[in-house]
Amino acid sequence: MAARTTFYVDKQNKKVSGVCAGIADYTGIDVTVVRIMMLVLAWATGGAGILAYFIAAHLAPTKPTGLYQDQADAKFWQGVRANPSRSTGEVRAKFRELDRRLADIELHYTSRNTRLADEIESLR
């Protein structure tokens, strides 16, 4: 399985080499914003930005297809790259919520049985 925490060049959504699309995929920033920022940076640094772009395109591995199952999965891993401890906290919160919901179901059934038992008791 390919790592989700490394920087990839996104060839599927590329305009030139896919570095901007890769940055957008890595950080979760909109790809158009990344491209505009890259153009501004290239203009401000006077060519150094363009050089950095092609070095990045040459060095970074290509993003494998099917890295994420769906949009929610991609968003989750963007969160992990930004702040892993917050993401693990979110997963733990999800497990706690599931525990609470299962406890509700359990309580529903157990309390219903007691009510049924009370009714049977009153009929006798």
Partner 1 sequence: MEEVIAILCAIIGLPWLIMHYVTKWKQSPKITNEDERLLDEMYNLARRLEARVETVERIVAADSPDFRSRLTSGDDYHREIGLGDARPSLEKHADYRPAGRN
Give the binding site for partner 1 (CB under 8 A).
1, 3-5, 76, 80, 83-85, 87-88, 91, 94-95, 98, 100-114, 116-118, 120-121, 124
State the amino acid at position 18 in one-letter form: G
Shortest separation between residue 56's beta carbon and partner 1, angstroms = 14
Q: What is the closest distance, in whole angstroms, from the C-beta atom of residue 42 to partner 1 in the complex?
A: 14
Angle at 67 (CA atoms; ends 64, 70), nearest 5 degrees: 140
The SS3 call for residue 119 is helix
**What's 61's DSSP letter?**
P
CB of 105 to partner 1, least distance (A): 6
Q: Which is nearer to partner 1, 65 or 110 (CB)?
A: 110
Q: Which residue number, 15 or 84, has a Cβ lying nearer to partner 1?
A: 84
Q: Nearer Cβ to partner 1, position 30 or 118?
A: 118
Number of C-beta neighbours around residue 4 at 10 A: 16
**Residue 22: how many other CB atoms lie within 10 Å:** 25
